[in-house]
Amino acid sequence: MPKISLYLDEDVHLGLGLALRKRGFDVIHAQELDQKGSSDAAQLAHAVAQQRCLLSFNTKDFVLLHNEYAEHDREHWGIIVSRQRPLGETLSKVLKVLQHFSRETMKNRIEFL
């Protein structure tokens, strides 16, 4: 089962990316790609172009973007949204998603932590 590659939105703590990398996951952060300050739509488009699932704490806007993609038959590689949580709790919940879903089963799906 191919692992999900993640794109962390700018509001996600950089430490989460480091912790996931230490566990063998392919993770990039918006800040590492000079995407800080880009619109949510641009962040998702960047994740899609790299075939990555996007993780954000901006639930409202990414639910809307997910719905917009579905309405226009546009594909994405998954969106994971959550409220802000302590780093350890976020890591635990993200790991559960990454262990449960593959790249293909996460495609065009939105998951709430």
Cα-based distances in Å from 89 to 36, 45, 65 = 24, 27, 25
79-89 pLDDT tens trace: 999 999 999 99
Alpha-carbon distance of 61 to 100, in angstroms, equals 25
Prediction pTM value: 0.93
Contact call for residues 76 and 49 (beta carbons, < 8 A):
no
Domain boundaries, the chain: 58-113
Classify residue 60 by burial, with Cβ atoms within 10 Å: 0-12, 13-18, 19+: exposed
85 alpha carbon, distance to own chain's centre: 15
Q: Summarize the confidence of residues 85-105 as an average pLDDT.
A: 96
Alpha-carbon distance of 13 to 30, in angstroms, equals 11
> Is 35 in a helix, a strand, or coil?
coil
Residue 37 pLDDT grade (very low, low, confident, very high; cuts 50, 70, 90):
confident
Residue 33 pLDDT grade (very low, low, confident, very high; cuts 50, 70, 90):
confident
Q: Is the pLDDT of residue 34 over 80?
A: no
Q: Is the pLDDT of residue 21 over 80?
A: yes
Strand blocks (E) in 1-113: 6-8, 27-29, 53-56, 79-81, 110-112
